[in-house]
Structure 1
Amino acid sequence: MNPTAPRNDENSSLSLLFSPTQQSAPVAASTAASTASCSSATTTTTNTTTSHSSSCSYCSQTFETRNALFRHLRNDPICSLEHADDHSARSNIYSTNKNKQSDRRLLLSIVKESVALRFGYYDDSNNKSPKHDDGDDEEEDDDNEEESTLAETVGKVLQGAIVESLKEVVQNWYDHDTDTLEKLEIMGSTQASLAKLRRMALKQEEGCAANGDVLFVNLMLPKVIKKESMEKQTDFWTKVGNLTRAKLKHQIPQAELFDLQILGTKRAAKLHAEKSATQYIYHYLLPLSWLPEEDAMRAWWQSSSADDVNPTRQARQFHQNKKLKNKPPDSLRRLKEALRSAESEKASPEQIRSDHKQHKLRLATGRFGALAARSKRPWHNFADPALKGNASPNNEPVWRAVDKARIVDFFVETPLKQDGQEGEQEERMVAIIEFRGDGFVKEQIRRIVGSAVAMTHSWLPPDFIALATNGDTAIETPLAPPNRLILSTVRYHFDELQSNGRPFFETHDTRQIVQLAPSEVDGIGWAMNALLERNEEQAKLALENESMWLKGLSQEIAPRIRTELLEQGKVVASSKNPMNTSPFTYSKLYYPVLSELRRIKSLNIWPETSVARSTVILRQDKADDGSDSEHSSGTPSRQNGSFTIVNPKVQQNWDNLPLGNKLFPELVEAVFDLESNLAESENTGATHKITVEEVTTPASLQGRQPSSHCAVNCNAQFTPHVDSGRGAGQKLSMIVGLGDYVGGELRVEGDAFDIQYKPLVFDGWKLRHWTNPFAGERFSLVYFTPESKD
């Protein structure tokens, strides 16, 4: 920078560096006699305001003499660096090759800058049949989890496009080849729709469109650009943004770049596209033909929109529009109630204060204002079944807060011909359902919509969503069709406070935003408009697939879910009734272990269950009477609990033996002898193996290596969970039930297995498993080898 001129005039740093012929800087007459070196230093660092004073252009401090100014430049840590950078840039504007010919090569100082991009995309293929729920959770291949979603693909293309654009603009802006072009690269990036920090359960599903996805990018760029005037910086970033947009649309025509916001390094240091997001807003386009009373719905629609100038494009603000003359059909009311049942409750200040020490409320902390008072619920039943153990209710990411699930608008879906004219296919009325929350599990929104549609038809009970968001329950949920879900907006409330609470990409004096393309078309979001105006072929195929889904929901999916609810109710009821069966017969292999277990129980010396394990065991007050009270009343009707013992034969030098080993050495010996005997015996009952990779298959215990640990359980009804850690060498656990009881089957990803004296081998680290209700005396042994800490 030339300190003899203001920062925003024609002698700015850019013109100084890249217009060598115009570098002559004004110097006071009193400095004419200075030496060449001093004169050079003076012209690059001083602004002689009077004949006796000079000022530093970097900090504007005034000095009586030039010597004082030079001392300041040598000693001040900030100004000295600024001066060194500028002097280096100027002295290297030209380098000379061996032939003494001019080699116009720029050596620029590189610094970091951060920008935020708001972009959209949609999938126009729409030729895949909707995922059909058939109750089989094992048909999904784990490899699918590694496939890139549309959001990931667009994000990667954007990163490459902005780097290429930055290099082209820098090169063309100054009409020079530069050695620094290769240094202009991305140092890091974060994207709101991805789940790099929030775990894979929150990964945005394939086929989801977006009108407001956000990408934060940390770039390296020439320092001189940041010293330019705001007007020139905006011009520079406009060129970069437009070129980036063109490159994006060339590679992905169904993508659009709306805005580019220059964040600055100080502000960007506090922002992370994913971690700093406080609210995600999605919209789902629900055709009213999916609801009952379709004829009444159409008549209501036509009468309500008769006065509209353009009814096919006019938003139907159902909640705010007071001009609606006719009352909407009852099916809309039932849909609203079903959706509202998905919303999280808001804890009162009194509840929050009283919970300060008890910590029983699971609030959406770390959010802005009243949003932090929303309670979180487990949405494990609404997650993609392919997630398996990652969607277990004992995994924190599946506990989400839904701030809002409401109908906000109504539009008309208008199929178009290839030439853009309206097609012959009949228009469909579409309700826009808005979901707001702190994040959503993969497929959560579509399963809420599917459940709400079934509840509106009375195919599922009105409290189904409440039942399915109980951490102790595992139940199938219906999945609504794809290609109707849109990520509308991502909010960053804490950063938005600095701009009077305005949304992150809304224009404000405190923000430097370059608007590249409109994010709305005729008042409708760009992505939503694209989905509403599909071509006739796509619309016809979507209609056929969605009709098949609705038929399957009524005739197959909903009846299957109702049957499962009834079966669960019967099992719970039977578990409360006294057993009316004779003692169970079993192999003599189990005698030593069972006798020891019964002795410990009869002496009432069963160890206390650890805090971590107790979180996945159903409390006895709930298991016995179905109540949801926070405290048990009186003594439990049966003793229950769980503790772990280790196998001294697997490793001799255990640093700290568990309490169970010290209290019950006879039990330890009997338990691990049983495993060895089962591995050597040819007749062990109906043994099966369940893994993530394979369908349930018959298996043998012969050759099984001894386990290092065993969990010993008494009358413990486990809720859906996955085991912590990972098997070291031994990839599968083995479980077997003992005692006289009825019920109590082990459920693995929804399939029930009778383990009463019938060992079962399964992957407890990846597959969700839980215990069916039971009556009687039930023990279980779970053999496993956890990951070593070495």
Structure 2
Amino acid sequence: MTAAPAFSCQFCHSKFASRNAIFRHLRADGCTSDNPRAPSATTEDPIVKQSLAIWFGYYHVPHDDDNDSNLLQGTGIDNDLGWNEWAGQQVFQAVQQTLETYEIEKTKNDPDSTNGTANNKLLDFQLQESRTQCSLARLRARILQQDPECPAATDVLVMTGTCLQSSLPQLEVALTNLPDALSNGNIQIWACKLLRSDITLHAERSCTQMVYHYLVPLAWMPGAELLQTQWEGWGHRPPTDCLKRFKTALRGAECGMVPLPSQQKKHQQQHKMAVGRFGRLGAKERKAWHNFADPTLRGLAAPNQESVWRVVDYCRMVGMVDNANLVVEIKGDAFLPQQVRRILGTAVAMTHGWIPMDAWETALRDPASLIETVLAPPGRLYLSECRFHFEESFSSGKPLFESDTCGKVLRLGLPGDNGNTRPQEWAQQCLLRSLSSEGTKRAEDQWLKDVQTNVAPRATQSIHELLKVSVPRSELDASALDPAPLDYMDVLTKLRDIVSTGKWPVTSIARSSVLADQGGKTGKAGSFTVINSKLKEQLQTSSGSQVELPLGNQLFPDLAAAVFELEERIAEQTTKVDVAPNGKIGLSNECTSRRPQSTHCAINANAQFQPHVDSGRGAGQSLSIIVGLGDYHDGELRVEGLACDIRFKPLEFDGWALRHWTNQYHGERFSLVWFTPELT
């Protein structure tokens, strides 16, 4: 009889009967290349995996150049280390230090104490370097990263390690000393939870709802003096209706419920539904909240990118601090940089009447809109809570650190059962201390004046322009339009022939997803792509595979040849969209340098595109050229809000990085977009 083959672990060189046994050993014993560990000495005391969930708050990373003047400066996502990541590192190091200190002190006080194994260590807890944190975005889209300078009343950090099963009681005792390992008063540890072995909790991915609080001063409300002087005396009836208007503005930011079945099909064509959610969140719809993201994100926050489809579940006033600041709570599945502050700033402007109150239901919630919004000052926002609905479903709806169902909770920084409010109070008091300086008050007063005189008027004007609908013309007066240049006549004639004969091909699903509803416009609408057949061999060499010409080339070979000939003729007539170092968008009147001929061209007929960025990336040339053809009024191309007249005026721009869309138009409108995509 042949003996069973022996398999060896490449790290600790122990022998096993099968590969599966090696995998079980790696998981259970924590054996790695950096830390080779033999299998458990006895089956009675195996090495087990133990995950720790730390509930902690943080306020401020100390910097040498901190001062009151920089509290109102905007923050982006490019900071090397945000306050949340810094605090997570400090907590992780505190856990390591706590376990090491406990091991040393216990052994020193009781040198005969062992755990009965060959290593003679009490804990032998091997903490892995990897960890997850709710407020980070390492496995999610980068633009879901929390604002770098946003503090937290509570955040959750999950780390994993291995130890002997007999050491678990000692581990629990050791963790009670965790708060003592943090000498920095900017971080508070509220509780620790030893998760059950069958529970897998990934703080970043398992978190289903983020809750933020923003402290809105009464001084920002209309009739502020009346509110502040009579606050204690008006009981249930405020002396003005400004808080009622503020409440209405806040509720307008909440996502609506799923429509009735009769409206479901049409609605799903407009907005993608949230799926895989828990509790009442499952009935919420995803909205493209691109208007409320940091505008410097540009194409990263384009509404055709799924990462910006955020669900705002709740936006209400929930309390008062120091009789001078309203506490506004905003709940959602995740938030884009500056999203919460822009919702709050816009709501304040609406309360004053500086922005129309119905803007939520018109321009601000229209996925085809992109307008300026009001950015509220930083320094008043903090992360209040992180929720895990899947874990709550096992504990009758109790939060993760209020139930022992999924593991044992060690209350380290909370006094008794009524300590839930302490993290909120701690965060609020930290914020109020930093906001009490005269410099901060002056800066916020200046912000409110700037909103009234500059920001809100610009936003209102853009809303009015968006909602302005031209009177439809039954007969377009072509004589009032500049005639088509001779360079374009051949392509324009071929396009009109295809439309008049009804041969326009069906638009792809991907392209249709960014096309706006034509709103009853007559005429064939759609889009298809052709390839430059002269560059077919070059494409095949670049991709390393056979390149098949698309349907557009097969149906309209003469048109395909004509559009690429047109590109060569108009290349030197092209203007360019420039992005200045300060981020402003403008047009360059200088002729662009001779660019390589494009490999692809998108051909569009009567197609009005919603804000989007092009899929994939550009290869070789990173810019696209677009030009409009036909007899039409309006229909400008908007690039990050800049209106560009492209009727027989070719324009070069970065369609992969800059959001762009089509203004409303009347008449027949064709457009050609030449580009060279990156081949995979």
Structure 1 residue 385: Cα displacement: 0.7
For 2:73 and 2:180, the matched residues in 1 are separated by: 42
* Residue 449 of structure 1 pairs with residue 387 of structure 2: no
Partner residue, 1:337: 248
In structure 2, relative to structure 1, the CA distance for the partners of 1:356 and 1:671 (3 Å cut) is: closer
Aligned AA (1:742):
H
Structure 1 residue 167: Cα displacement: 3.0
For 1:535 and 1:335, the matched residues in 2 are separated by: 22
Structure 1 residue 751: Cα displacement: 1.2
For 2:551 and 2:628, the matched residues in 1 are separated by: 23
Structure 1 residue 541: Cα displacement: 1.8
Structure 1 residue 109: Cα displacement: 8.2
Partner residue, 2:470: 573
Partner residue, 2:189: 257
In structure 2, relative to structure 1, the CA distance for the partners of 1:263 and 1:404 (3 Å cut) is: same
Equivalent position to 2:400, from 491, 495, 504: 504
- CA contact 1:260–1:513 (8 Å) conserved in 2: yes
Partner residue, 1:649: 534
Partner residue, 2:166: 227
Structure 1 residue 477: Cα displacement: 0.7
Partner residue, 1:559: 457
For 2:269 and 2:352, the matched residues in 1 are separated by: 39
* Residue 688 of structure 1 pairs with residue 576 of structure 2: yes
CA offsets, 1:325-368, max 9 Å, x none? Answer: 544520010000111111112237x6499669977663332221
In structure 2, relative to structure 1, the CA distance for the partners of 1:638 and 1:503 (3 Å cut) is: same
Partner residue, 2:13: none
Aligned AA (1:503):
P
In structure 2, relative to structure 1, the CA distance for the partners of 1:85 and 1:489 (3 Å cut) is: same
SS of aligned partner of 1:525: helix
* Residue 236 of structure 1 pairs with residue 236 of structure 2: no
For 1:763 and 1:182, the matched residues in 2 are separated by: 56
Equivalent position to 1:294, from 200, 224, 227: 224
Structure 1 residue 411: Cα displacement: 1.5
Equivalent position to 1:762, from 641, 653, 674: 653
Equivalent position to 1:526, from 410, 418, 426: 426
Structure 1 residue 394: Cα displacement: 0.7
* Residue 517 of structure 1 pairs with residue 417 of structure 2: no
SS of aligned partner of 1:735: strand
For 2:595 and 2:39, the matched residues in 1 are separated by: 68
* Residue 490 of structure 1 pairs with residue 422 of structure 2: no
Partner residue, 1:673: 565
Partner residue, 2:480: 582
Q: How does 1:317-396 map to 2 (within 5 A)?
A: 324-347=235-258, 351=261, 362-396=272-306
Partner residue, 2:18: none
SS of aligned partner of 1:650: helix
Aligned AA (2:663):
N
* Residue 740 of structure 1 pairs with residue 650 of structure 2: no
Structure 1 residue 784: Cα displacement: 0.9
Equivalent position to 2:134, from 166, 178, 192: 192
Partner residue, 1:638: 523
- CA contact 2:57–2:423 (8 Å) conserved in 1: no
Q: How does 1:130-141 map to 2 (within 5 A)?
A: none
Structure 1 residue 147: Cα displacement: 3.0
Structure 1 residue 111: Cα displacement: 4.8
Partner residue, 2:210: 280
In structure 2, relative to structure 1, the CA distance for the partners of 1:275 and 1:352 (3 Å cut) is: farther
In structure 2, relative to structure 1, the CA distance for the partners of 1:704 and 1:203 (3 Å cut) is: same
For 2:407 and 2:679, the matched residues in 1 are separated by: 51
Structure 1 residue 495: Cα displacement: 0.7
CA offsets, 1:175-221, max 9 Å, x none? Answer: 4897999993424211111122331222111221201111111224x
| Sequence identity (%) | 39
In structure 2, relative to structure 1, the CA distance for the partners of 1:772 and 1:147 (3 Å cut) is: farther
Partner residue, 1:169: 102
Partner residue, 2:57: 120
For 2:125 and 2:187, the matched residues in 1 are separated by: 28
- CA contact 1:646–1:709 (8 Å) conserved in 2: yes
Partner residue, 2:143: 201
SS of aligned partner of 1:596: helix
CA offsets, 1:4-57, max 9 Å, x none? Answer: xxxxxxxxxxxxxxxxxxxxxxxxxxxxxxxxxxxxxxxxxxxxxxxxxxxxxx
Aligned AA (2:86):
T
For 1:743 and 1:734, the matched residues in 2 are separated by: 19
CA offsets, 1:365-417, max 9 Å, x none? Answer: 222122200122110000011111111111112112211111110111xxxxx
Structure 1 residue 676: Cα displacement: 1.9
* Residue 434 of structure 1 pairs with residue 329 of structure 2: yes
Aligned AA (2:367):
G
Query: TM-score of the superposition, structure 2-length normalised?
Result: 0.84
Aligned AA (2:228):
R
For 1:229 and 1:110, the matched residues in 2 are separated by: 10
In structure 2, relative to structure 1, the CA distance for the partners of 1:662 and 1:256 (3 Å cut) is: same
Aligned AA (2:385):
T
In structure 2, relative to structure 1, the CA distance for the partners of 1:289 and 1:663 (3 Å cut) is: same
For 2:214 and 2:237, the matched residues in 1 are separated by: 25
For 2:465 and 2:155, the matched residues in 1 are separated by: 43
Query: TM-score of the superposition, structure 1-length normalised?
Result: 0.72
For 2:341 and 2:666, the matched residues in 1 are separated by: 37
In structure 2, relative to structure 1, the CA distance for the partners of 1:437 and 1:531 (3 Å cut) is: same
In structure 2, relative to structure 1, the CA distance for the partners of 1:129 and 1:559 (3 Å cut) is: farther
In structure 2, relative to structure 1, the CA distance for the partners of 1:692 and 1:639 (3 Å cut) is: farther
Structure 1 residue 472: Cα displacement: 0.8
SS of aligned partner of 1:258: strand
Q: How does 1:659-670 map to 2 (within 5 A)?
A: 659-670=551-562
Q: How does 1:83-162 map to 2 (within 5 A)?
A: 87=41, 111-123=48-60, 125=66, 127-129=68-70, 145-162=78-95
In structure 2, relative to structure 1, the CA distance for the partners of 1:163 and 1:699 (3 Å cut) is: farther
CA offsets, 1:261-301, max 9 Å, x none? Answer: 1114421x2x2112111211111100011010113212441
* Residue 548 of structure 1 pairs with residue 453 of structure 2: no
- CA contact 2:73–2:378 (8 Å) conserved in 1: no
* Residue 594 of structure 1 pairs with residue 492 of structure 2: yes
Equivalenced residue count is 618
- CA contact 1:364–1:438 (8 Å) conserved in 2: no
SS of aligned partner of 1:454: helix
In structure 2, relative to structure 1, the CA distance for the partners of 1:242 and 1:173 (3 Å cut) is: farther
In structure 2, relative to structure 1, the CA distance for the partners of 1:729 and 1:405 (3 Å cut) is: same
For 2:91 and 2:424, the matched residues in 1 are separated by: 24
Partner residue, 1:424: none
For 1:356 and 1:663, the matched residues in 2 are separated by: 32
In structure 2, relative to structure 1, the CA distance for the partners of 1:183 and 1:113 (3 Å cut) is: closer
For 1:118 and 1:440, the matched residues in 2 are separated by: 21
SS of aligned partner of 1:472: coil
Structure 2 gap ranges (5+): 1-23, 30-37, 541-545
Question: How large is the RMSD of aligned CA atoms in angstroms?
Answer: 3.2
Structure 1 residue 514: Cα displacement: 2.0
